[in-house]
């Protein structure tokens, strides 16, 4: 009897609560959905940065960057706090780092949230299109005109880290808008074992392959080659793109936005064949998921004759604590040589590195500080100091300075590579394009797909992504 | 109801509301980054997903993974539980030791197995080498990569099945066995007619839990293989992640997610109904 | 909808401690079984032992081929690196551990505070459509996290909860609440309602009766439930990696995952961080070993 009474008391308010909640929920959904739409419609393109640097604050200020976790990120934080503080004692530099695999997602989820915990995003050159189209970073064209000596740079470096729409390889379009300035230049270096293949690095790609083949045969337990093959980040994609460039292929026709038939032309297929059928057999078993750190480990463990890696990621190779090649830096350098990539039909090398881009969502004071920092960073004397601190500068005078060339055995490689660089597409669809290429090249390298099919699939799927403007649903599958 | 409503309100706000929002977005072409308003496109996302060969491939991978992993850990988990239940001494200690893998974070499990399965310097290949066997490419071949995923998941979750099976096994009353031994019934007969029927319902619940968990697997794939080689170990969850965060096709990803939730709900209902019938029958 | 998990599980007859008589087979079989168990135990525990071993090896021994099982130089450097940054000061990892502790701790307290009264009400009162409600509550727990994270992300960006500890705490509370309710309902069911009824005859309100008579009896159950909630949020990865991005908010699982994929991977550090990370969980799990089954099945199966 008590129970039935209790039931009556409880259920009535219970139902009311349920009804009220349901109503609230419905209202909230509608409001949120509408609010969202209006919010997004208002911002369609990148907001402009002021042409001159506004007055800077005298209050303490923290200027935040976002980058992935690797030695240059720590170098930048230390360098900026030591040097920039001399100019701006009230500013503190903080470089937020995220795992490399999470880098794109971490930046663009914050961009999507319209709230960033960083003032300067260090975007990969190919991320620019996505960020510009979504209005996430400032248009600094006018700022650059007034504050930066553009003549001091190889034009392609300025274009690669700042220009959108993308420039032609090797050039800069002076009428196009700029959205960033170079922070850290990078390209691949060939790392070779002088004690195993001799002091003189191979000059052509074919020669490099045959040298590696011989070295592997002569030295059991050491594999001929080590390079990036992983399906994450841009690992396998950069590897294919490099071989594609060297063998005279093209990634796309940027004017007509054609990939199908361009990427998978005869040269493209030859490059894929060289990569899968000639280079892959010379790599270590199970190296199909290798990226930067695994290639470094293989070199440091003395298990590779010739390896390819990003210059900015190669510093650790000279650390005796992580190497079995010697107990001092000099001993290691007796065995390791660094050279520019061999050429074949062309001498193209992959463009790496990143630029600085001002977040559209950071406060006015911080944006002003960010612009001031960038102007400071691109000064001739600071670029040389950055070089001496272990960074890779972009100004031609800094690249040719003894401060830079003497700072590391691979720095000459970078300076020599600058005129030879080629980048990937920097369109807004970049993340999807690179994923398609990564997974397919990785599949081909690991026997999950025939090389020819893999390349044709890349071209077909990438073309579909570029063409998918229509609103029928299922985008991104 | 003052005691229940705060909890229900939180669940409504954090589970139901987001789900309804996702449901709304699933009928649009909305993108979280591209900006611009969402356009209503009806069932466009749903039909595209159901028709996509890419999705079919991930569904097959997920199915193989779920069936393989759950079967393996059920057999192993039950076997271990059976062996433990026959011991008089050290049962508690043994159980505790066997449970360790289950308590570890999938991140730790994934990272560590990746380290152990490394073809070049991993300890597994090193031990195979001492036995005179060749190197196995655990994570970079289509078949072995999927098998590795199954093995690692089995390693982590066999204890789960074991724990539950053990609960069932130790609950079998002694008098039933005594009656059977008077009848001189064979051991297999006793196992089949006494032990198994009593443990079976519990085991089926354990299987349900594992199947649901395995169906939504993400973290292990993310760390162990990143979906590779190619996309051959991409599960449905991993694919949703790529659709949602690489291209920010939020509408498509929402529809994809809703479909996954539907699959779980429908299959669970069918399974539970079967289970209840079994119990009554 | 009318089917709920607890109906589907028969609780089984009373526990019987004496094991089935060992008659057939005899000693040989017993030896075989022990041998089999030992082999299985070694296989299951080997990765854990290897992790501990790697955490105290020097890096050059970590990569040694063939693998070194004994006779390597023991070092505690990796454990130091977990807590101390290379240049001195606190390491990013130790900050992440602290964040994990805060996020897991607060979300567990919240889930307990919200969940225990709800469980009590579901157990004591004839709530309308109770089974449906309970099933609904449980079902929220079974949604794939990757799916949930998309709308949660959109919602959080509207209210500014992206990359904040509060955001993680809220989602973990919601994630743990179904578990807490299911688990605690079982514990409340075991406490006879008559105690409360008797107290109410003495003039106490129902709430007072609950506090004075039922709550003290529930304390062990609450502790066990809380520990499981703590373990779930401590180990959680998917929400953490997508909803946080800065060092000051990031919890330990994404921080540990971030140790690989730089320019060099310090596997010794990965192992040491994993050991430090797993240790509290194992200790806690040992403390609640009696309730493990209920814990891992969200209270659906209990003994």
DSSP codes, B54-99: HHHHHHHHHHHHHHHHHHHHHHHHHHHHHHHHT-SSSHHHHHHHHH
Structural domain harbouring C103: 92-296
Mean pLDDT to the nearest integer, A158-175 = 92
| Residue C46 tokens, joined | 């080997």
Interface touch C158/A32, C-beta < 8 Å: yes
Do C154 and C206 belong to one domain? Answer: yes
Residue C23 is given by DSSP the state -
Q: Give A134's strand partners.
A: none
Q: Judge if A454 and A401 occupy the same domain.
A: no
Task: Examine the domain organization and report whether A387 and A311 are in the same domain.
Answer: no
Evaluate whether residue B280 is within a structural domain. no
In a domain, B271, yes or no: no
What does residue A429 show for φ and ψ, rounded to 5 degrees?
-85, 10
The answer to whether the Cβ–Cβ distance between A21 and B33 falls below 8 Å is no
SS3 state of residue A381: helix
Q: Are A396 and A380 in contact (CB under 8 A)?
A: no
Number of domains in chain A: 2
Mean pLDDT lowest among A173-187, A280-294, C120-134: C120-134
- Nearest-by-CA chain C residue for B30: C154
Q: Would you say residue A36 lies in a domain?
A: no
Rounded-to-integer distance, Cα A322 and Cα A337, Å: 17
Contact (Cβ atoms closer than 8 angstroms) between residue A298 and residue A336: no
B171 and C CB contact within 8 Å: yes
What's the rounded Cα separation, in Å, for the pair A224 and A218? 10
Q: Does C109 contact chain B (CB < 8 Å)?
A: no
* pLDDT value at residue B48: 94
Residue B93's pLDDT is 84
Spatial separation of the C-alpha atoms in residues A61 and B52, rounded to whole Å: 51
Phi then psi for residue C282, to 5 deg, are -65, -40
In-domain check, residue B269: no
Of A43-57, A166-180, B139-153, the one with minimum mean pLDDT is A43-57
In angstroms, rounded to a whole number, what is the distance separating the alpha carbons of residues B207 and C149? 26
pLDDT reported for residue C52: 96
Highest mean pLDDT among A105-119, A197-211, B166-180, C178-192: A197-211
Could you tell me if residue C227 is inside a domain? yes
User: ipTM, 2 decimals?
Assistant: 0.91
Q: What is the pLDDT of residues C207-235, one digit of tens each?
A: 888 888 889 999 989 998 999 899 999 99
Q: Is residue A52 in a domain? A: no
Does B94 map to a domain? Answer: yes
The alpha carbon of C35 is separated from its chain's Cα centroid by a whole number of angstroms, namely: 32
Q: At what angle do helices A364-377 and A380-388 cross, to 10 degrees?
A: 80
Any domain includes A143: yes
CATH number at residue B67: 1.10.3720.10
Same domain, residue pair C138 and C64: no
Return all residues near A67 (Cβ < 8 A) that are at least 6 apart: A73, A76, A95, A96, A97, A98, A103, A122, A354
When pLDDT is averaged across residues A334-342 and rounded to a whole number, the result is 97
Neighbours of chain A (3+ CB pairs under 8 A): B, C
Q: Is residue A3 part of a domain?
A: no
From CA B76, how far away is CA B64, in angstroms rounded? 18
- Counted residue by residue, chain C has a size of 303
Contact predicate A215/A201, CB 8 Å: no
Same domain (yes/no): C75, C97: no
Burial annotation A455-473 (CB, 10 A radius, 16+ → b, else e): bbbbbebbbebbebeeeeb
C-alpha distances out from residue B246 to A104, A106, A378, B56, C153, Å: 8, 11, 32, 20, 15
For A421, the 3-state DSSP assignment is strand
Phi, psi of B270 (to 5 degrees): -60, -45
A436 falls within a domain: yes
DSSP A26-73: HHHHHHHHHHHHHHHHH--SPPBPPSSPPPPP-S-EEEEEEEESSHHH
Give domain status of residue C138, yes or no.
yes
Query: Is A310 in the same domain as A388?
Result: no
What is the mean predicted confidence (pLDDT) over B56-62? 97
B42 CB neighbours in chain A (<8 A) are: 473
Residue B105 within a domain: yes
Domain end call among C53, C83, C113:
C83
Q: Which residues pair with A356 in a beta bridge?
A: A122, A181
**C55 and C120 together in one domain:** no
A1 CA: distance to closest CA in chain C (Å):
12
Higher pLDDT among residues C147 and A441, named by residue: A441
Tell me: do C76 and C181 sit in the same domain.
no
What token pair was written down for A335?
């065995």
Give the span between the Cα atoms of A4 and C140, in whole angstroms: 30
E-strand stretches of C23-121: none
Indicate whether C227 and C145 sit together in one domain: yes
Beta pairing partners, B28: B40
In a domain, residue C145? The reply is: yes
Chain A residues in contact with C163 (beta carbon < 8 A): 110, 113, 117
Domain C-terminal end among C37, C64, C83? C83
Q: Are residues C33 and C131 in the same domain?
A: no
B73 occurs within a structural domain: yes
Q: What token pair was written down for C114?
A: 């919200």
Phi-psi region of C163 (alpha: psi -120 to 50; beta: other; left: phi over 0): left
What is the 8-class DSSP label of residue A177?
E
Contact A29, B34 (CB under 8 A): no
Chain B environment of A471 (Cβ under 8 Å): 29, 39, 41, 44
**Phi/psi at A17 (5° precision):** -60, -45
A10 confidence band (pLDDT: 50, 70, 90): very low
The answer to whether B254 contacts chain C (CB < 8 Å) is yes
Residues C260 and C281 in one domain: yes
- pLDDT computed for residue A7 by the predictor: 36
| Closest listed residue to residue C90, CA positions, set C275, C247, C257, C292 | C247
The stretch C71-82 carries a mean pLDDT of 92
pLDDT at site B281: 65
Evaluate whether residue C188 is within a structural domain. yes
Instruction: Identify any residues that bridge with C37 across adjacent strands, giving them in sequence order.
Output: none
Instruction: Give the domain extent around A253.
Output: 187-350+426-467
CATH number of the domain that residue A72 is part of: 3.40.190.10
Query: What is the reported pLDDT for C25?
Result: 56
A160 and A219 co-located in one domain: no
Number of domains in chain C: 2
| Best of B7, B247, B256, B258 to mutate (most A CBs within 10 Å, chain A) | B247
- The 10s digit of each residue's pLDDT in A20-62 is 444 444 444 444 444 343 333 333 478 999 999 999 999 999 9
**Both structure tokens of A99:** 């795992």
- The closest of A205, A187, A201 to A351, measured between CA atoms, is A187
Best CA proximity match to B258, nearest among C146, A33, C158: C146
Consecutive H or E run containing A17: helix A2-42
Dist CA B263 CA B266 (whole Å): 5
pLDDT at A469: 62
C146 touches chain B (CB under 8 A): yes
Distances (CA, A) of A357 to A45, A64, A127, C129: 15, 12, 11, 56
Q: Is A153 helix (H, G, I), strand (E, B) or coil?
A: strand
Q: Identify the H or E element spanning A306.
A: strand A304-310
Please say if the pLDDT value at position C2 is more than 70. Answer: no
* Residue pair B162/B81 in contact by the 8 Å Cβ criterion: yes
Residues B89 and B199: beta-carbon distance below 8 Å: no
- Whether the CB of C14 is below 8 Å from some CB of chain B: the reply is yes
For residue A291, give the nearest of C60, C155, C261 by CB distance. Answer: C261
pLDDT given for residue B89 in this prediction: 83
| pLDDT tens digits, C175-213 | 899 989 988 988 898 888 888 888 888 889 888 888 888
Residue C99 shares a structural domain with residue C234: yes
Query: Of A266-275, A297-306, C293-302, which range is least confident?
Result: C293-302
| Residue A38 maps to a domain | no
Same-domain status, A157 and A249: no
Q: Residue B11's pLDDT is what?
A: 92
What total of structural domains would you count in chain B? Answer: 1
Q: Is residue C303 part of a domain?
A: no
Q: Which chains touch C (3 or more CB pairs under 8 A)?
A: A, B
Q: Which residue range forms the structural domain that includes residue B228?
A: 52-248
Is A15 domain-assigned? no
Please choose, from the candidates C150, C168, C297, the residue with its C-alpha nearest in 3D space to the C-alpha of residue C233: C168
Instruction: Report d(CA B20, CA A242) in Å as an integer.
Output: 46
User: Which of A387, A406, A422 is the C-terminal boundary of a domain?
Assistant: A422
The model carries a pTM of 0.90
Please report residues of B whose CB lies closer than 8 A to that of C274.
104, 108, 111-112
Cβ separation B6–C40 shorter than 8 A = no
Model confidence at C22: pLDDT above 80: no
pLDDT value, residue A19: 45
Distance CA A342, CA A227 (A): 14
Give percent of chain C with pLDDT exceeding 70: 90
Q: Residue B171: what pLDDT?
A: 76
* Interface A:B, Cβ pairs < 8 A: 186
Cis peptide bond prior to C287, omega within 30° of 0: no
Cis peptide preceding B229, ω within 30 of 0: yes
In terms of domains, do A345 and A371 share one?
Answer: no
Q: What's the pLDDT tens digit per position in B167-197? A: 888 877 777 777 777 777 777 888 888 888 8
Contacts of B147 (CB under 8 A, 6+ apart): B68
CATH of the domain at C234: 1.10.3720.10
A309 DSSP β-pair partners: A189
Residues A209 and A227 in one domain: yes
Q: Which parts of A195-310 are beta strand (E)?
A: 223-226, 304-310
* Mean pLDDT to the nearest integer, C296-302: 70
Neighbours of A275 (CB within 10 A): 24
Q: What is the DSSP letter of A258?
A: B
Measured in residues, chain A has a length of 477
| Residues of chain A positioned with their CB less than 8 A from the CB of C153 | 109, 112-113
Distances A158 to A166, A169, A172, A388 between C-alpha atoms, Å = 11, 12, 7, 21
Domain stop point among C83, C107, C127: C83
């Amino acid at each position: 009897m008590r129970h039935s009474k209790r039931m009556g008391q409880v259920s009535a308010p219970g139902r009311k609560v349920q009804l009220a909640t349901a109503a609230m929920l419905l209202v909230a959904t509608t409001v949120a959905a509408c609010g969202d739409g209006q919010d997004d419609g208002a911002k369609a393109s990148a907001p402009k940065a002021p042409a001159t640097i506004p007055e800077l604050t005298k209050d303490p200020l923290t200027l935040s960057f976002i980058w992935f976790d690797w030695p240059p990120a720590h170098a930048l934080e230390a360098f900026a706090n030591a040097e920039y503080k001399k100019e701006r004692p009230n500013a503190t530099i903080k470089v937020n780092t995220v795992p490399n695999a999470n880098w794109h997602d971490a930046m663009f989820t914050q961009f999507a949230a319209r709230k960033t915990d960083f003032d300067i995003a260090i975007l990969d050159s190919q991320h620019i299109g996505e960020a510009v189209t979504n209005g996430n970073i400032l248009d600094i064209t006018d700022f650059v005109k007034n504050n930066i000596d553009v003549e001091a740079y190889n034009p392609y470096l300025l274009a690669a880290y700042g220009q959108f729409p993308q420039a032609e390889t090797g050039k800069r379009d002076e009428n196009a808008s700029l959205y960033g300035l170079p922070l850290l230049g990078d390209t691949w270096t060939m790392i070779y074992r002088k004690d195993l293949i001799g002091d003189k690095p191979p000059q052509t790609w074919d020669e490099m392959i045959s040298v590696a083949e011989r070295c592997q045969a002569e030295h059991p337990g050491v594999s001929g080659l080590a390079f990036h093959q992983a399906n994450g980040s841009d690992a396998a994609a950069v590897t294919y793109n490099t071989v594609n460039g060297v063998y005279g292929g093209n990634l796309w026709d940027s004017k007509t936005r054609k990939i199908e038939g361009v990427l998978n032309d005869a040269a493209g297929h030859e490059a894929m064949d060289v990569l899968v059928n000639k280079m892959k057999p010379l790599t270590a078993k199970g190296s199909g998921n290798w990226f930067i750190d695994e290639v470094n480990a293989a070199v440091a463990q003395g298990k590779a004759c010739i390896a390819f890696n990003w210059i900015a990621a190669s510093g650790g190779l000279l650390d005796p604590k992580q190497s079995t090649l010697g107990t001092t830096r000099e001993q290691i350098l007796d065995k390791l040589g660094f050279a520019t990539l061999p050429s074949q039909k062309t001498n193209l090398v992959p463009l790496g590195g990143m630029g600085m881009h001002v977040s559209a969502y950071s406060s006015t004071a911080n944006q002003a500080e960010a612009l001031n920092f960038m102007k400071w960073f691109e000064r001739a004397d600071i670029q040389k100091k950055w070089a001496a601190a272990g960074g890779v500068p972009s100004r031609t005078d800094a690249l040719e300075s003894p401060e830079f060339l003497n700072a590391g055995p691979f720095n000459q490689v970078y300076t020599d590579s600058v005129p030879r660089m080629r980048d990937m597409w920097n369109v807004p669809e970049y993340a999807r394009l690179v994923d398609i290429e990564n997974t397919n090249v990785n599949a081909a390298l690991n026997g999950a797909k025939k090389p020819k099919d893999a390349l044709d699939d890349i071209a077909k799927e990438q073309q579909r992504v570029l063409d998918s403007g229509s609103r029928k649903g299922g985008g991104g599958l | 109801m003052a005691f229940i409503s705060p909890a229900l309100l939180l669940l409504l706000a954090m589970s139901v509301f987001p789900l309804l929002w996702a449901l709304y977005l699933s009928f649009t072409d909305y993108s979280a980054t591209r900006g611009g308003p969402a356009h209503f496109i009806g069932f466009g996302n749903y039909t595209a997903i159901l028709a996509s060969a890419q999705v079919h491939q991930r569904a097959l991978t997920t199915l193989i993974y779920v069936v393989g992993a759950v079967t393996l850990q059920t057999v192993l988990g039950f076997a271990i539980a059976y062996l433990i239940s026959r011991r008089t001494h050290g049962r508690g200690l043994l159980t505790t030791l066997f449970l360790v893998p289950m308590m570890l974070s999938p991140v730790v499990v994934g990272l560590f197995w990746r380290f152990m399965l490394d073809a070049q310097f991993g300890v597994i290949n090193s031990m195979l080498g001492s036995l005179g066997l060749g190197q196995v490419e655990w994570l970079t071949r289509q078949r072995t990569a999927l098998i590795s995923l199954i093995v690692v998941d089995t390693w982590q979750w066999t204890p789960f099945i074991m724990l539950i099976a053990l609960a069932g096994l130790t609950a079998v009353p002694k008098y039933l066995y005594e009656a059977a031994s008077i009848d001189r019934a064979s051991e297999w007969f006793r196992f089949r007619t006494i032990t198994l029927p009593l443990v079976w319902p519990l085991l089926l619940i354990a299987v349900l839990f594992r199947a649901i968990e395995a169906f939504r697997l993400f973290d292990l794939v993310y760390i162990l293989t990143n979906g590779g080689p190619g996309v051959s170990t991409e599960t449905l969850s991993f694919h949703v992640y790529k659709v949602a965060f690489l291209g920010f096709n939020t509408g498509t990803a929402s529809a994809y997610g809703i479909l996954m939730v539907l699959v779980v709900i429908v299959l669970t209902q069918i399974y539970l109904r079967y289970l209840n019938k079994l119990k009554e029958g | 909808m009318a089917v709920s998990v607890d109906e589907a599980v028969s609780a089984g007859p009373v526990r019987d401690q004496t094991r089935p008589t060992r008659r057939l087979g005899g000693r040989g079989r017993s030896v075989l079984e022990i041998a089999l168990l030992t082999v299985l135990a070694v296989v299951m525990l080997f990765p854990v032992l290897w992790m501990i071993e790697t955490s105290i090896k020097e890096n050059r021994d970590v990569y040694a081929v063939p693998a070194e099982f004994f006779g390597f130089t023991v070092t505690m450097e990796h454990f130091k690196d977990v807590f101390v940054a290379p240049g001195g000061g606190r390491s990013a990892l130790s900050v992440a551990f602290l964040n994990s502790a805060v996020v897991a701790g607060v979300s567990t307290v919240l889930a307990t505070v919200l969940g225990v009264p709800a469980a009590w009400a579901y157990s004591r009162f004839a709530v309308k459509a109770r089974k449906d409600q309970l099933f609904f509550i449980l079902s929220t727990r079974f949604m794939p996290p990757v799916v949930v994270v998309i709308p949660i992300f959109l919602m959080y960006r509207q209210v500014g909860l992206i990359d904040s500890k509060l955001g993680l705490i809220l989602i973990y509370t919601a994630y743990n609440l179904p578990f807490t309710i299911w688990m605690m309902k079982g514990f409340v069911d075991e406490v006879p309602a008559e105690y409360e009824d008797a107290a109410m005859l003495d003039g106490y309100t129902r709430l007072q009766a609950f506090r004075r008579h039922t709550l003290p009896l529930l304390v062990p159950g609450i502790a066990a439930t809380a520990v499981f909630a703590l373990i779930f949020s401590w180990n959680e990865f998917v929400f953490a990696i997508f909803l946080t991005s800065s060092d000051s908010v990031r919890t330990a699982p994404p921080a540990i995952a971030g140790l690989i994929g730089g320019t060099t991977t310090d596997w010794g550090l990965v192992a040491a961080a994993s050991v430090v990370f797993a240790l509290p969980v194992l200790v806690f799990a040992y403390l609640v070993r009696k309730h493990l089954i209920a814990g891992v099945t969200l209270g659906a199966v209990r003994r």
